[in-house]
Amino acid sequence: MSIDTTVPGGELLAQLAAGEFSATDLVQAHLDRIAGPGAVLNAFTLVDADGALTAAKEVDRARAAGEPLGPLAGLPISVKDSVDVAGLRSTHGRLSDAYVATVDAPAVRRLREAGCVVLGKTNLPVYLSGHESANETFGRTLNPWDLQRSSGGSSGGASAAVAGGLAVADLGSDLAGSLRMPAAWCGLSGHRPSNGVVSKLGNLPWPPGGLLEPQVSAIGPITRTAADAAAFFAAMAGPEGPEAVGWRLELPPARATALAGVRVGVWLDDEACPVDAETRSAITGLADALERAGAVVAEFTDPPVAGHADLELFCRLQAGEVVHGFDEERFAEHVAAAAAGSGFSRAVTATHRQVLADWEAQRAAMARWARRFEDVDVVLAPAVPRTATRYGEDVDAAALVSWNRLTSIGKLPSTVLALGPGAESGLPVGVQVLGPYLEDHTPLTFAVLAEAAGLAGWKAPAPWT
């Protein structure tokens, strides 16, 4: 039986429901692709074939017995190596402090409860830091669109697996674009949730067993389409831990259910955030198409965050989060480096008073965003300012994540929308659709509508397949 593993998850669900093939067939097709043509991508660090087939057979048994099924029942997914899957090894790009997880991370548990089947774990850079998912232990992950190029970081194994038809979806953690960059570079969709909507516990380099939810980063799905991103997000979202006793998640409905009349801001200019001509052209092309479809499109001026000062604020916020994952030896190294003048080391060893001052500044930025979203429903901004880099290419790594650093300050939801191959490079270009804090359904629905109207969407990486 021939199964096309590169189609969107929604299509595969329909085929499963129609009995065109079983969940076991679908999982086996993915395992065959991982071991066959997908092997060249080096997306996986570990494949749990036996566990996946056992889970798929249980879905088939439940379906045959007429038992209730989860909304994603039978869909094979991969999981970023830093995210805990019970019984499988967790790493952040090295084996020296790897461990076998005893419980699923909350996001993984929720996806399993929705019926997903875990195929294995996917590659990333050491400490989840970098725009290339390569490390000495597991090697280099390749972009299915061009095997000489990076699939992004830090969720580059995830994006290569989904784009290459090796998994229907994966999880992307995102502090400074670790979901958004890989999705854009591999022609995918995905959703970085509003902070706190999806639990990020059980994700290295956070301390194993850590109970605190991070202040700046988030975790969400990497998928082929926005419709898939919405479905996976719905399965992942919800309170965890002590808060779940009394809190319920009731996100507002989307502000618009049609493109006509939706208010769109286009944000392409910031003194500290360059954008190349190809990316700019693709985003302005989408804006023009939206205007023809009846959307109210305007340049997004007076943004709530901007320039080098806010980028520096983000870097301090980032440092205040990542330091929680440092062991004593690594922290001592930064204490010494701070004394020698290292700016990043000074940030990770900052006083509690400075950290609280930065959190206050972040809340003030969130308030400014709320006021600006009185005038617009969504904002289009670069997910990454250029197409995928070649391995070994000399590039300003900070510039690659500058837009994501700015937009992460406000804890905003961001849906990545694939705009197709760029006019010059022929490589995928992506845009991030920003929505108001805790209004995740607004950018997700907007992206789904844009795909349905043919203005954007998934295209399989034909050069590789």
Q: What is the pLDDT of residues 379-403, one digit of tens each?
A: 999 999 999 999 999 999 999 999 9
pLDDT of residue 327: 86
pLDDT at 304 over 70: yes
Is 154 labeled as catalytic in the residue annotation? yes
- Read off the pLDDT of each residue in 93-116 and give the average, rounded to a whole number: 97
Residue 465 has pLDDT above 70, yes or no: no
pLDDT, averaged across the chain: 97
* Pairing status of strand 146-150 against strand 142-143: antiparallel
E-state strands within 232-370: 263-266, 296-299
The class of domain 9-247+259-452 in CATH terms is: alpha beta
Q: Which of 178, 194, 402, 414 is catalytic?
A: 178
Contact between 219 and 120 under an 8 Å Cβ cutoff? The reply is no
Lowest pLDDT segment from 130-144, 292-306, 339-353: 339-353
Lowest mean per-residue pLDDT among 109-113, 346-350, 365-369, 428-432: 346-350
Q: Is the pTM of this model over 0.85?
A: yes
Distances (CA, A) of 231 to 200, 222, 226, 362, 427: 18, 11, 9, 30, 27
Q: What is the pLDDT of residues 149-183, one digit of tens each?
A: 999 999 999 999 999 999 999 999 999 999 999 99
- Mark whether 178 is an active-site residue: yes
- CA–CA dist 133, 153 (Å, integer): 5
Q: 92 with 206: CB under 8 angstroms?
A: no
Helix, coil or strand: residue 174? strand
- Enumerate the β-bridge partners of residue 172: 220
Place of tokens 């197709």: 420
Which residues, 6 or more positions from 314, have their beta carbon under 8 angstroms from its beta carbon? Answer: 176, 216, 405, 406, 408, 409
Catalytic residue (choose from 78, 80, 173, 194): 80
pLDDT per residue over 4-32, tens digit each? 999 999 999 999 999 999 999 999 999 99
Mean pLDDT in residue range 42-66: 98
Round to whole Å and give the CA distance between 123 and 204.
13
Instruction: Using the predicted structure, report yes or no on whether residue 222 has a pLDDT greater than 70.
Output: yes
Burial of 375 (0-12, 13-18, 19+ CB in 10 A): exposed
Structure confidence by residue, pLDDT tens digits, 283-296: 999 999 999 999 99
Spatial separation of the C-alpha atoms in residues 172 and 190, rounded to whole Å: 8
